[in-house]
């Protein structure tokens, strides 16, 4: 009894794809090899950049500081406060209100808007909260507080930038108009509340929250430049 050529080819195919596994072609092996090399190289480069970011300053990290920061910030920022022996123990809440002007020239002071409360509402219950909701407003206030004294006077060269940054974060949410009236000025209120200690600690109750109001800042067209 003879066996056809198709039958022999079928048996050969079974042997090739059987226990010995699939035989990759040369082009496929080349593509897989290149992909593996790219992934390994990219991973190694990224780890090297992160190492330069967290390592003490050196000639290489100083020379490529802008490129390193561009890779690390904001997604891979290193923040060691979580492991500090005395971590932050205050909850900071930022509110804002605006003064609007109608076509007739009459002005009106609006109610306070809880900017931090908006972020908390967006984060709570969200398994993958936005980095913007978690950090944008917080970092804006940290920048302002670090560049101003308690009287609102700028203490370093970042003062003007910090004011503009904080103002634009709020105006992006509020918009140019409220109930058809143009936004004329904006004011911020910041409440600092100490986190109460656990009942078993025996520590004294925290002091009452501190409320700080910043002066009214004028709002112009330039403050909306580039805002969506």
**How confident is the model over 1-47, as pLDDT tens digits?**
455 545 544 454 444 444 556 788 888 889 999 999 999 999 999 99
pTM: 0.63
CB-side neighbour CA atoms (13 Å) of 147: 18
- The 10 Å Cβ neighbour count of residue 183 is 20
Where do the domains of the chain lie?
Answer: 23-78, 87-224
**pLDDT tens-place values along the chain, 228 residues long:** 455 545 544 454 444 444 556 788 888 889 999 999 999 999 999 999 888 888 888 888 888 888 888 888 767 766 665 455 556 678 999 999 999 999 888 999 999 999 999 999 999 999 998 988 988 999 999 999 999 998 889 998 889 999 999 999 999 999 999 999 999 999 999 999 998 888 888 888 888 999 999 999 999 999 999 886
């Amino acid at each position: 009894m003879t066996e056809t050529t198709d039958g022999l080819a079928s048996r050969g195919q079974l042997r090739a794809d059987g226990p010995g596994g699939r035989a990759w072609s040369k082009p496929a092996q080349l593509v897989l090899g290149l992909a593996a090399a790219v992934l390994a190289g990219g991973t190694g480069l990224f780890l090297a950049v992160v190492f330069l970011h967290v390592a003490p300053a050196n000639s290489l990290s100083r020379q490529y500081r802008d490129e390193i920061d561009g890779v690390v910030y904001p997604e891979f920022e290193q923040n060691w406060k979580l492991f500090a022996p005395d971590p932050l123990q205050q909850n900071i809440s930022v509110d804002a209100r605006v003064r609007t002007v109608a076509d007739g020239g009459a002005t009106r002071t609006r109610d306070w808007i809880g900017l931090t409360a908006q972020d908390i509402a967006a984060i709570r219950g969200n398994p993958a909260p936005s980095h913007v909701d978690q950090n944008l407003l917080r970092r804006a206030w940290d920048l302002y507080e670090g560049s101003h004294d308690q009287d609102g006077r700028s203490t370093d060269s970042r003062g003007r930038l910090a004011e503009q940054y904080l103002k634009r974060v709020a105006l992006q949410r509020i918009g140019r108009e409220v109930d058809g009236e143009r936004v004329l000025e904006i004011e911020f209120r910041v409440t600092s509340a100490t986190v109460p200690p656990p009942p078993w600690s025996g520590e004294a109750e925290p002091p009452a929250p501190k409320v700080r109001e910043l002066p009214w800042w004028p709002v112009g067209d330039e403050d909306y430049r580039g805002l969506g």
